[in-house]
Amino acid sequence: MRLSGRVLVHSPIRGPMLIQRAFPLLTALLLPLVAAAATDTRGQTTQAVQQFASRAELSRHLRALGYKVRGGVDKAETDRDEKRGASFPHFSSSFSVNGATYPFTMVGHPPATGRSSQFRSVIIPLRMNFVGFGPNQDVNHSFDPAPAVKNIVGSPLYEEAQYPNGFGQFGDQMQRAAFWNQMGDDHSWHVRMAGPVVTRTIDIEVTPQTGTALAQLGTYWTGDVLIDFMDSQIRTILQFIDIGPDELPVFVTGDVTAQALGYHSAFAIPGQGVTTALQTYAYTSWLDPTQVDPLFADVSTFNHELLEWMNDPFVNNVVPTWSYPPASDAQSGCSGNNMLEVGDPQGNGPTFPDFPTVLVTIAGVTYHLQQLVLWQWFTDLPSSAFGGWYTFPDPSSLKAPAVYCK
């Protein structure tokens, strides 16, 4: 479909990008989906506006949301796609633990080839319009995603900054640290994000049937919606906008969550004959850094989800079930998680206050980045990464690999 409007975004890597998307039809298609959800849902039809008494109470709410794992593609489909090259470049490798082999797929060309990759992403802002809340169903509030998008586009996920192992984008520097000793001698391998394309904002109506909370802390508003509702909206949008399997759609909400701070997923799209395309996508909330604790602020969720996409793009990299680090913390326990999700060990459990966000400033704006484990942390082996690291960007925050659940 060709569109009625244009959005111009400047990319320091790729140059100005011009994108057109037609949304009038899309908006019309989304509204019946919301109405159907309200019609089919039984139970409470009114929902009071919650009041957080303190920032600490808001933080407990956000901690309880955490991050979720959704969807995924069968490993055989991933392997076939790697050979066909139908999506973005990705490669496979494996590690062994106690005689068991754990294969994994990550973005980029094989590090030993020295071939660099640049990945395209499309940011899709979602304006979440909460309507009919309160005991009289007369409380409405709209959440503008524009500040979130502006902050994300200028963030270390797309712009370059200094890290312990060099100058570059956050994701590229983390992956280069992980595969430093598997590259060629010239260490020319990179996995960079191209400057993002930003679409026009899409409006989504949220009712008490599809929104789990509309809340205030003083004058600061937050919202939360059902994760199944959010995912159904995303899947519908993906049917009607021109995004290919070689692009990463990133759905962004400002000060609104979806029973999770963020998640990434993938699904197979049947094609002609025996061909199948694999579509990945990510959802990220963005929370105002002046209102929430640093662990949840601005791009902390996006850096969590983007790097999980880089390390497990098709949500099918299985590892031994691990315990939350560090083992010295009395709150450490079995995660019940057997996925190679690099953000979860330090950012999604009872011990994540042990790992403060790292602050990176670009053009006078300070961004909050979560600590993430390198894939070597899951292996129960001495790390093969740069400097023997297990985590990034502060390599001192973890000095030992995972402890597996018993």
pLDDT tens by residue, 79-119: 666 566 568 999 999 999 999 999 999 999 999 999 999 99
* pTM, full prediction: 0.88
In a domain, 405, yes or no: no
Domain count across the chain: 1
Contact 251, 281 (CB under 8 A): yes
pLDDT recorded at residue 275: 59
Residue-range definition of the domain harbouring residue 135: 5-397
Helices 227-240 and 24-40: crossing angle in degrees, nearest 10, is 150
DSSP 43: S
In a domain, 200, yes or no: yes
Q: Any residues with CB less than 8 A from the CB of 272 and at least 6 apart, and which?
A: none
In a domain, 66, yes or no: yes
Residue in the structure block whose two tokens are 């979560």 = 370
Selection from 195, 194, 180, 193 nearest residue 114 by Cα: 180
Q: Compute the radius of gyration of the chain from its Cα atoms.
A: 21
Residue 282 CA: distances (Å) to CA of 166, 175, 265, 270: 27, 19, 6, 20
Residues of the chain with pLDDT under 70: 1-45, 75, 78-86, 271-275
In a domain, 404, yes or no: no
In a domain, 139, yes or no: yes
In a domain, 403, yes or no: no
Residue 76 CA: distances (Å) to CA of 79, 102, 105, 110: 5, 14, 11, 19
> Residue 49: exposed, middle, or buried by beta-carbon count in 10 A (0-12, 13-18, 19+)?
middle
pLDDT recorded at residue 178: 98
Residue in the structure block whose two tokens are 């199944």 = 228
